[in-house]
């Protein structure tokens, strides 16, 4: 965890924003994967980490916004635990490490919350996403478990999002470290990308790198020759010459900050002509989009700009036609890029998505579009210094989508479906970097990971 002053300050800022009531932050508990005592690798809740930093299961943090009181609820280990887990720091010592001086056993939490409710106090909490947390919250608050998500505190969500959206310098340094791990993962993948190699072998190697350098992957690795499936978690293929391999993979640091990088590599040593054509268009969209990121511009504008670069490139090689601005306005390019240009990044790979995608990426002035493609943009807001997000344009040849649109003659004034089918062997190409908005521009975070054709061919 960081120094305790970091957490003390964050809680003070939250207290100023919230003014009244009690906030209950339930940390995560161990989660079984095939029987109770055989658990998944523990991952602490990101909001609990942000305000309390304790990376241990079974703790709860309470902030009283009226009195300023802060309490950690958790259990000291007993001799049975010590036999299996070794000696552990006391709850009081752990709590002092994040600047909280009052502690109680976890069993006292119910009494504390009941007393607050009897006094008519508001208990704010954030939307729970794990079954265990939903059941605990419902039981503590005497609510229907099915209502817990919808009854989460709007003011707490908005206050937390306002804080976590602007990254502190120590957080930016963590994300750079996470990109450094991703550098090793991606360069390893590029070097292993030879005909005959099993996708699973590369996948396992990358996951191993993330664990040996940090807290593991920041999301399940996407690695496949079938990059047209945007989140392809099937790694059963054997690499074939002439195909592309898409690798979308990031790591968490030991403090749980994420990176999220995508690279696309030709299997074999060189890009063939068709691969080069499509790759260069996506690379241009990636570079132009990153160039456009600065305070005052918006991620919605960046999405539109990248879409126009993609449509222009696709028109140049005969897959699209007509006026590029009109084609993008009509959403024709979304046949080839049916996703948004990027999302926020931080303690979560889709940062704060659990607090509500529209609260994180949209506001009163910027509303979500319902057009296919643009509707999937997770973050559309005007940039502010301290925002960290991904820029990840792609071109995909999804046979089922091409067949569907073609049968409907959808937007056929802008799309040459016969030409599009010729490019099916490409599968998909995505190139993704992690970007910080600075006071007067932007910074691509971490050591640059090879992405030009020349850099990749040299590495191969
Ligand atoms: N990189 C995976 C995702 O953005 O969902």
**Could you tell me the distance, in angstroms and rounded to a whole number, from the CA of residue 145 to the centre of ligand 1?**
29
**Could you tell me the distance, in angstroms and rounded to a whole number, from the CA of residue 22 to the centre of ligand 1?**
34
- Order across the sheet with 22-26: list the strands: 102-104, 70-73, 60-64, 22-26, 123-124
Query: Is the shortest distance between the CB of 174 and ligand 1 below 6 Å?
Result: no
Q: What is the pTM of this model?
A: 0.96
pLDDT score for 379: 96
Query: Is the shortest distance between the CB of 219 and ligand 1 below 6 Å?
Result: yes
pLDDT score for 23: 98
d(CA 53, CA 346) in angstroms, rounded, equals 14
CA angle centred on 71, ends 5 and 60, rounded to 5°: 100
Contact 391, 340 (CB under 8 A): no
pLDDT score for 302: 98
**Could you tell me the distance, in angstroms and rounded to a whole number, from the CA of residue 98 to the centre of ligand 1?**
31
d(CA 365, CA 128) in angstroms, rounded, equals 28
Contact 362, 368 (CB under 8 A): yes
Query: Is the shortest distance between the CB of 248 and ligand 1 below 6 Å?
Result: yes
pLDDT digits (tens, 9 = 90+) for 178-236: 999 999 999 999 999 999 999 999 999 999 999 999 999 999 999 999 999 998 889 99
Q: Which two tokens mark 201?
A: 């072998």
Query: Is the shortest distance between the CB of 351 and ligand 1 below 6 Å?
Result: no
pLDDT score for 460: 83
pLDDT digits (tens, 9 = 90+) for 29-66: 999 999 999 999 999 999 999 999 999 999 999 999 99
Low pLDDT (below 50) residues in the chain? none
Domains and CATH numbers, the chain: 4-165 (3.40.350.10), 169-459 (3.90.230.10)
**Could you tell me the distance, in angstroms and rounded to a whole number, from the CA of residue 13 to the centre of ligand 1?**
30
pLDDT score for 43: 98
d(CA 276, CA 265) in angstroms, rounded, equals 11
Q: Which residues of 411-444 are buried (b: 16+ CB within 10 A; e: fewer)?
A: beebbbbeebeebeebbbbbbbbbbbbbeeebee
pLDDT score for 424: 98
Mutate to test the pocket of ligand 1, among 185, 210, 222, 261 (most ligand atoms within 8 A of CB): 222
Contact 175, 445 (CB under 8 A): yes
pLDDT score for 268: 86
**Could you tell me the distance, in angstroms and rounded to a whole number, from the CA of residue 246 to the centre of ligand 1?**
12
Q: Which atom of ligand 1 is nearest to the CA of 432?
A: 1
Q: Which residue do the tokens 């079954």 mark?
A: 131
Contact 51, 11 (CB under 8 A): yes
Question: Mind giving me the DSSP string for 147-166?
Answer: GTTTTS-HHHHHHHHHHHHS
CA angle centred on 405, ends 403 and 411, rounded to 5°: 145
Say which DSSP state 375 is in.
G
Number of alpha helices (DSSP H) and beta strands (DSSP E) in the chain: 16, 15
**Could you tell me the distance, in angstroms and rounded to a whole number, from the CA of residue 115 to the centre of ligand 1?**
43
pLDDT score for 22: 97
Mutate to test the pocket of ligand 1, among 248, 249, 344, 361 (most ligand atoms within 8 A of CB): 248
């Amino acid at each position: 965890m960081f120094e305790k002053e970091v957490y003390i300050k964050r809680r003070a800022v939250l207290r100023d924003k919230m003014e009244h009531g009690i906030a209950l932050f339930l940390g995560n508990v161990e989660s079984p994967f095939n029987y109770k005592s055989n658990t998944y690798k523990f991952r602490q809740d990101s909001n609990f980490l942000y305000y309390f930093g304790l990376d241990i299961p079974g703790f709860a943090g309470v902030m009283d916004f009226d009195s300023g009181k802060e309490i950690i609820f958790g259990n000291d280990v007993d001799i049975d635990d010590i036999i299996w887990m070794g000696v552990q720091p006391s709850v009081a010592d752990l709590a002092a490490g994040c600047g909280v001086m009052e502690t109680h056993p976890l069993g006292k939490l119910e009494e504390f919350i009941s007393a607050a409710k009897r006094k008519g106090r508001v208990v704010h909490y954030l939307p729970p996403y794990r079954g265990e947390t939903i059941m605990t919250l419902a039981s503590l608050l005497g609510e229907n478990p099915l209502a817990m998500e919808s009854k989460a505190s709007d003011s707490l969500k908005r206050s937390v999002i306002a804080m976590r959206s602007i990254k502190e310098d120590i957080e930016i340094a963590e994300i750079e470290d996470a990109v450094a791990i991703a550098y090793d993962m991606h360069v390893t993948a590029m070097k292993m990308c030879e005909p005959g190699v099993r996708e699973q072998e590369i996948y396992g190697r990358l996951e191993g790198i993330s664990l040996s350098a940090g807290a593991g992957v920041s999301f399940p690795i996407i690695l496949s020759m079938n990059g047209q499936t945007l989140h392809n978690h099937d790694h059963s293929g054997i690499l074939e010459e002439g195909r592309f391999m898409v690798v979308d993979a990031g790591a968490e640091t030991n403090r749980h900050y994420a990176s999220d990088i995508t690279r696309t590599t030709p299997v074999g040593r060189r890009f063939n002509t068709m691969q080069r054509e499509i790759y260069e268009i996506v690379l241009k969209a990636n570079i132009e989009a990153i160039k456009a990121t600065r305070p005052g511009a918006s991620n919605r504008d960046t999405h539109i700009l990248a879409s126009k670069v993609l449509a222009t490139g696709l028109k140049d090689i005969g897959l699209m036609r007509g006026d590029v601005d009109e084609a993008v306005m009509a959403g024709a390019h979304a046949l080839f890029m049916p996703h948004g240009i990027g999302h926020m990044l931080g303690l979560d790979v889709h940062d704060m998505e659990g607090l509500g995608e529209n609260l994180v990426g949209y506001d009163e002035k910027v509303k979500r579009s319902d057009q296919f493609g643009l509707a999937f943009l997770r973050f559309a807001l005007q940039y502010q210094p301290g925002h960290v997000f991904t820029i990840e344009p792609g071109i995909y040849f999804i046979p089922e989508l091409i067949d569907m649109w073609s049968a409907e003659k959808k937007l056929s004034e802008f799309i040459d479906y016969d030409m599009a089918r010729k490019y099916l062997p490409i599968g998909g190409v995505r190139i993704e970097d992690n970007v910080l908005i600075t006071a007067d521009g932007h910074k691509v975070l971490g050591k640059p990971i090879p992405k030009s054709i020349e850099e990749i061919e040299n590495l191969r």
